[in-house]
A and B are shown apart, each in its own frame.
Chain A
Amino acid sequence: MTPLEQVQQQFAKDIIETHAFRGDETAVIRPGVLLNVAKFLKETPELGFNFLMDLTAVDYLFFAGGRISKEYRFEVVYHLYSLKHNHRIRIKVPLTEENPEVDSLDKLWASANWYEREVWDMYGVKFKGHPNLKRILMYEEFKGHALRKDYPFNKRQPLIGPQN
């Protein structure tokens, strides 16, 4: 049984969507069950996902030039890898614009700490239970979140030098 099938079996009603292409397995889950799914993936011996390889987010505002509209705006993406079993899984969590908030995975994988700070910095997604959720790349004086699609790409708010 592949990791995706095991997750499907365990969390059948909380999985919105799955797909698998040549071993590239993805599960889109409800935000509320993220912590349980993550615990299950890490602590089940035959899954053993002990490595959070990447944690990032996607802003689907104006997706495909506005031709495709989704009912949610953000998606937080987790890439997990098991060093023991050499398999991978991708978990996606859709979040709405009104409430971009999801549980922190800092307690499970320490690498989530800085990733979550980066996602907060760039997309403004809040992580519940994060021990130190502050900006990691931009300076504290920076207003807004730079990688949101409604942030003007040529807007400047420097610490010194000309503003616009």
Chain B
Amino acid sequence: MSFISSPTGFFTGKLNEALGWARKFSIFQYPFVTACCGMEYMSTAASHYDIDRFGAGFPRFSPRQSDVLFVVGTINHKMAPVLKKVYDQMCEPKWVVAFGVCTCTGGFYDNYATVMGIDTIIPVDIYIPGCPPRPENVIDGLIKLQEKIQKGEQNRTLYDPRTKIGRPAEMQEGCTISHPIKNIESSS
């Protein structure tokens, strides 16, 4: 963070830090909206919660021009190849946000049609649970994504349902959340 808070005013940071700083405040997102979470995504993106404050207010509707894939809503097996294709079309560096519990784990669906977590198909960087997640929750996820981009981290692994490897420890069954989400006061 020396790049931003240098007391002398000189650019003392490393190149990667500078790149990370630039990238985290110019997130070009691709909203892959399939279901009801889309409404909550729109309300977060619109002026009331205003994710433009975090530099993420510019949705691109071409995967080739975007950095972050927001998967918003249930993904079914028929849609899965499309999602994979969109992910493959994105240029590096790229990140994926699973928005809503359906994309994280399949949620309450356990049937013939639903993908049990998009992390079985594409690597996911940030999971935002909730059905749908509240805007505060989304913004919390966005800030966590910014931290990840600043560090230059990207997830490359898929989740394997047989070995149960590839998901954060917080998502395993019977775990207690060690870092509860702070409540952000609504401005209304």
Which residues of A, 141-164, contact B by the 8 Å Cβ criterion?
146, 151, 153-162, 164
Q: Are B112 and A160 in contact (CB under 8 A)?
A: no
- Tell yes or no: B78 within 8 A of A by CB: yes
Interface mask (B121-165 → A, CB under 8 Å = 1, otherwise 0): 100000000000000000000000000000000000000111000
Contact A162:B162 (CB < 8 A) given known A153-B111, A153-B112: yes
Q: Are A158 and B115 in contact (CB under 8 A)?
A: yes
Count residues of chain A with CB under 8 A from any CB of chain B: 16
Q: Are A156 and B162 in contact (CB under 8 A)?
A: no
- Tell yes or no: A12 within 8 A of B by CB: no
Task: Give chain A residues whose Cβ lies under 8 Å from the Cβ of B160.
Answer: 162
Q: Are A151 and B77 in contact (CB under 8 A)?
A: no
Task: Give chain B residues whose Cβ lies under 8 Å from the Cβ of A159.
Answer: 77-78, 80-81
Measured CB to CB, the closest approach of chain A to B20, in angstroms, equals 31
- Tell yes or no: B120 within 8 A of A by CB: yes
Task: Give chain B residues whose Cβ lies under 8 Å from the Cβ of A155.
Answer: 112
Taken together as a complex, chains A and B put the C-alpha atoms of A138 and B162 apart, in Å, by 25
Task: Give chain B residues whose Cβ lies under 8 Å from the Cβ of A62.
Answer: none
- Tell yes or no: A11 within 8 A of B by CB: no
Q: Are B81 and A156 in contact (CB under 8 A)?
A: no
Taken together as a complex, chains A and B put the C-alpha atoms of A160 and B75 apart, in Å, by 12
Q: Are B112 and A162 in contact (CB under 8 A)?
A: no
Q: Are A160 and B84 in contact (CB under 8 A)?
A: yes
Contact A161:B115 (CB < 8 A) given known A139-B77, A139-B78: yes
Task: Give chain B residues whose Cβ lies under 8 Å from the Cβ of A154.
Answer: 110-111
Taken together as a complex, chains A and B put the C-alpha atoms of A157 and B138 apart, in Å, by 32
Taken together as a complex, chains A and B put the C-alpha atoms of A159 and B121 apart, in Å, by 11
Task: Give chain A residues whose Cβ lies under 8 Å from the Cβ of B121.
Answer: 160-161
Taken together as a complex, chains A and B put the C-alpha atoms of A154 and B115 apart, in Å, by 11
Measured CB to CB, the closest approach of chain A to B77, in angstroms, equals 4
Taken together as a complex, chains A and B put the C-alpha atoms of A137 and B76 apart, in Å, by 11
- Tell yes or no: B113 within 8 A of A by CB: yes
Task: Kindly list the 10 A-B residue pairs having the minimum CB-CB distance in the complex, ordered from nearest.
Answer: A158-B77, A146-B112, A161-B120, A161-B121, A139-B78, A159-B81, A160-B80, A162-B161, A160-B81, A162-B120
Which residues does B use to contact A, with CB under 8 Å? 77-78, 80-81, 84, 110-113, 115-116, 120-121, 160-162
New A-B contacts (12) at CB < 8 Å, excluding given A138-B112, A159-B81: A138-B78, A138-B113, A151-B112, A154-B110, A155-B112, A156-B116, A158-B77, A158-B80, A161-B115, A162-B120, A162-B162, A164-B161
A-B contact pairs, 30 of them (CB 8 A): A137-B78, A138-B78, A138-B112, A138-B113, A139-B77, A139-B78, A146-B112, A146-B113, A151-B112, A153-B111, A153-B112, A154-B110, A156-B77, A156-B112, A156-B116, A157-B77, A158-B77, A158-B80, A159-B78, A159-B81, A160-B80, A160-B81, A160-B84, A160-B121, A161-B77, A161-B80, A161-B115, A162-B160, A162-B161, A162-B162
